[in-house]
Structure 1
Amino acid sequence: MLILLMPQSTSWADDSPYTENRHRLALKQSMKTMTADQFAEFSQGRRLFEQMWVIAPSLDDDIDGLGPLYNSISCLQCHPANGRGHAPDKPEQKLDAMLVRLSQLDKKGNIITPHPVYGEQLQDKAVPSVKAEGHVSMAYRYFNVTLKDGTAVPMREPKVMLSQAAYTDFSDVLTSARIGPALIGMGFINAIPAEQIIANADPDDLNGDGISGRVNWIKDSMTGLTHIGRFGYKANVASLKAQVVNAFHGDLGITSSIHPKENCTLVQSDCLKALSGGEPELREAQLNAVTVYMQLLAIPKPLSIDNEQLLLGQQMFNKSNCLACHHAKFTTSKETKPQQLASTTISPYSDFLLHDMGEGLADGRPDQGATGREWRTTPLWAIGLSKIVNSHANYLHDGRARTLLEAILWHGGEAQASQQAVINMSSEQREALLNYLQRL
């Protein structure tokens, strides 16, 4: 069997999942060994991920089928350089790497998901024969949080504003903004045995530490089986392949074997009449190629904790009990395919569980089994590369936090004690903690 050695200079085993690169393209590096077949599929997946999809019919039916309703024309638009999307800073700026999830509140106070007229998310773009669902803009309330040492930290609280309603007014719509997450270690997350995630759950807080992470169980609509939610800001997606097809369907309007119908609701007659790019538009071979691309992306290697300040930062991270949710290590299943993902110890710094993060971060919009106050613990690996990869740094689900310190200060609910510990740190301890996080 032919093995292709990727051209990277390393000092560890050739089958390592890591890359030493920490430059602008650090999140686009491939693992160092692939078979010839894997490399071909990985390359095809990368092309499809970066491809600007076009409206059907076109001269190239491999890349047509965009819309009829959509948010972006390529995966790369929401995940620039495989990194984070960003929130607009002013109401007049467009949502280039962000979307808004929707639900409806009925007269009895019950939540209906997806919205019966607009679906699960607002599509603010459409092909020429179809009306876009509406316009989204973001506004902010600005304020400061004062730390114990007197440091004032600028903060911003976002507000989603919907206008130009195409089908019915937005008066009963619940919203939740989302920036595109960085694409780190998706294949490895998919390969963590379910029992390892379940082992960290403590829904009734039996150990009395104030932290009660729980699994978001996702029901497969086709098989009726339930699986652990691993992906998405609310852990509302169970597998990597499901994450890929959901994004193609919701964000680009591309159908697949799992989502064979266009993303139109019954009242959107112009959308239902639009031309299709195939049945389905994303063929199975293309879906598999994009999934392989996600699986075989290398993980940026953490930097060494090699001086007293970084050791202090690590101590502050542990002392603040951040590890209770940002769990350091998992080992992937030995049966995982492809074999590059099997029996590997990884450090994602997440437990992939739902936690009540308090009223400050609450979106009031339940999603699968998650409440409006619950969020999946965001993995912290390679978080220090955010500004290097994307020239900006937006954190949390809606990009409200522009620095890691802002993100920490938004932690409430089960993370309130950890947030308070950071507020009470000396400037030296706080700086050490933030520098430590940049090394992960």
Structure 2
Amino acid sequence: MMFRFWFVPSLLLVLVSCGPRSRNSTSPEAEMFLAGGGTTIKNRTSTAFTAPAANLNPEEFQLHGEGDVFFEGEFVKGPSPVRPGLGPTFNNTSCRGCHVRNGRGMPVLGANGTLRSPVLVRVSLDPSALDRFPELQSLQVPGAGPYPVPGFGTQIQNHAVLGAEPEITLSLSWEEVSGQYPDGTGYTLRKPILAYEGSPEKLALMQDSAVQRSIRQTPPVVGLGLLEAVPVSTLRDLEDPEDTDGDGISGRLNQVWDPVTQSLAAGRFGWKASAPSLLVQTAAAFADDMGVTNPIFPGADGSLEIDADFVRKTAFYTQTLAVPDRVRTPSPSAVQGEILFQASGCASCHRPALSTDDSSSIAALRNQTFAPYTDLLLHDMGEGLADGRPDFLASGREWRTPPLWGIGLTGTILPQSGFLHDGRARSLEEAILWHGGEAEASRKAFEILKAEERAQLLDFLKSL
């Protein structure tokens, strides 16, 4: 069968996706339209992130289903009649393996704290230390991107096929950090501590101060096609790198290398906006996460394990997933919480409204106005969240504003999921309390709220 069982029921979701809207919302921008524009569905169950966009035409619907099969399928070690090409080292065997129900990941620990997917570790070399690595001194990194670590590349692959060895074994533990609100209420945060096992040479390299390391958990994949279709000019208008308006917010676009066009482009995807398009991000995931070579990221000898059509259809699947609408009859607490969200300055980065134009190659994404709660820009989030690993223009303290649409469904999609780039935050409250840098004023505004008001703001987020 080409399509999974939910495709037929999802047609019912399409029919009800344009139902009546609540007039209780306090944000005029977010109230005027559905969360995902015409792609929106009315589904707040554990399958909310798995349905096709509500407005796909028959041809797009068919292509979405074909891409779904590629997204779900697992690769195996070759030779094999079905899905050969895995490894020899990898992080997971399929897209679905990291993006469970298309939602965010969570740090999964095995025996003795061994780190399992869907969390991985990105690595790179500090360019100032290149003189210690002769094999890299002549390497030209397109677009001044991250320098690969010899023997690791730019991502640790901690699993291996039979007969091979993982690049390194990763273990994770947590360090607790205690704090207190001005009203005396205490709280406990946590931050990750990585440990490594491997050969003496690899261990020495991982412990070298020249190696920059960053834990990453998988983000949700819904609505990505809409974010891709927002004109660059719109995002440029949101930039304020010198904070000329004096509001303390200095967002900027990342500029990254696009291997398809062989030129620099605006970065939109990934925790540091290091991917210019969903096609490139998908191809990179095949190569880095699964060890599957493809036309955009071929093997060193030019070999390919999947073709361009495979990559294109998988990317199309992520471009055309539906966005579940926010709660349209929010509780009085959530209504008040939205007022507090705006008053605390959260919407300065988590912008309620964005729009696409008519230039997308996908008809369903054209001329849509939607509520992602992001500006897709890089922001300095302070030392507490800094990973010390630059990525193109993104510094070691900068992160792209993550969208908030669907964030209230996080626990419904996958219970115990974490928040922030490394999954350290066990709740939305903890995620807010880690905010620093440009977001420090908003965090402090949250901290001085009464306990009831803090709960109201969190209720608003849970309604998204």
Give the alignment's TM-score, normalised by structure 2: 0.86
SS across alignment from 1:28: coil
SS across alignment from 1:19: coil
Give the partner amino acid of 1:171.
Q
SS across alignment from 1:433: helix
Matched, 1:51 2:105: no
Match of 2:230 among 173, 188, 192: 192
Shift of 1:89: 6.0
Whether contact under 8 Å (2:213, 2:387) holds in the other structure is: yes
Shift of 1:407: 0.3
SS across alignment from 1:157: strand
Cα pair distance change 1:331/1:182, threshold 3 Å: same
User: What is residue 38 of structure 1 aligned with on the other side?
Assistant: 60
User: What is residue 30 of structure 2 aligned with on the other side?
Assistant: none
Deviations 1:276-325 (A, max 9, x none): xx942121221121122112111001112544322210111001100100
Inter-partner Cα distance in structure 2 for 1:230 and 1:112: 17
Shift of 1:224: 4.1
Shift of 1:198: 0.9
User: Alignment length, in residue pairs?
Assistant: 421
RMSD, aligned α-carbons: 2.2
Match of 2:335 among 311, 327, 342: 311
Whether contact under 8 Å (2:126, 2:147) holds in the other structure is: no
Whether contact under 8 Å (1:135, 1:165) holds in the other structure is: no
Deviations 1:53-76 (A, max 9, x none): 11111122xx11011221001111
Match of 1:66 among 86, 89, 101: 86
Inter-partner Cα distance in structure 2 for 1:44 and 1:156: 41
SS across alignment from 1:398: coil
User: What is residue 322 of structure 1 aligned with on the other side?
Assistant: 346
Inter-partner Cα distance in structure 1 for 2:56 and 2:150: 45
Give the partner amino acid of 1:138.
L
Whether contact under 8 Å (1:74, 1:252) holds in the other structure is: yes
Give the partner amino acid of 2:207.
S
User: What is residue 12 of structure 2 aligned with on the other side?
Assistant: 7
Shift of 1:19: 0.9
Cα pair distance change 1:46/1:108, threshold 3 Å: closer
Deviations 1:80-123 (A, max 9, x none): 00001101468524322110001234775999621122100100
Inter-partner Cα distance in structure 1 for 2:236 and 2:228: 14
User: What is residue 120 of structure 2 aligned with on the other side?
Assistant: 99
Give the partner amino acid of 1:375.
W
Inter-partner Cα distance in structure 2 for 1:52 and 1:39: 22
Deviations 1:229-267 (A, max 9, x none): 0000001111111111111110001111100116xxxxx
Give the partner amino acid of 2:91.
N
Whether contact under 8 Å (2:259, 2:280) holds in the other structure is: no
Give the partner amino acid of 1:240.
L
Whether contact under 8 Å (2:377, 2:400) holds in the other structure is: yes
Cα pair distance change 1:223/1:10, threshold 3 Å: closer
SS across alignment from 2:156: coil
Determine which structure has the larger helix proportion and give its number: 2
Give the alignment's TM-score, normalised by structure 1: 0.91
Q: How does 1:325-364 map to 2 (within 5 A)?
A: 325-364=349-388
SS across alignment from 1:145: strand
Match of 2:97 among 70, 74, 77: 77
Inter-partner Cα distance in structure 1 for 2:266 and 2:60: 27
Q: How does 1:21-420 map to 2 (within 5 A)?
A: 21-60=43-82, 63-88=83-108, 92-105=113-126, 108=129, 113-165=147-199, 168=202, 169=204, 170-172=206-208, 173-221=211-259, 223-261=261-299, 279-304=303-328, 306-420=330-444
Cα pair distance change 1:112/1:35, threshold 3 Å: closer
Inter-partner Cα distance in structure 2 for 1:221 and 1:299: 29
User: What is residue 266 of structure 1 aligned with on the other side?
Assistant: none
SS across alignment from 1:16: helix
Cα pair distance change 1:324/1:127, threshold 3 Å: same
User: What is residue 265 of structure 1 aligned with on the other side?
Assistant: none
Gaps of 5+ in 2: 1-7, 20-33, 132-144
Inter-partner Cα distance in structure 1 for 2:54 and 2:336: 34
User: What is residue 275 of structure 1 aligned with on the other side?
Assistant: none
Inter-partner Cα distance in structure 1 for 2:263 and 2:310: 26
Give the partner amino acid of 1:12.
C
Cα pair distance change 1:331/1:45, threshold 3 Å: same
User: What is residue 269 of structure 1 aligned with on the other side?
Assistant: none
Cα pair distance change 1:329/1:259, threshold 3 Å: same
Shift of 1:166: 7.6
Inter-partner Cα distance in structure 2 for 1:16 and 1:195: 22
SS across alignment from 2:383: coil
Cα pair distance change 1:288/1:329, threshold 3 Å: same
Whether contact under 8 Å (1:6, 1:30) holds in the other structure is: no
Gaps of 5+ in 1: 263-271, 273-277
Give the partner amino acid of 1:39.
F
Cα pair distance change 1:106/1:189, threshold 3 Å: closer
Shift of 1:221: 4.3
Inter-partner Cα distance in structure 2 for 1:27 and 1:198: 29
Whether contact under 8 Å (1:383, 1:437) holds in the other structure is: yes
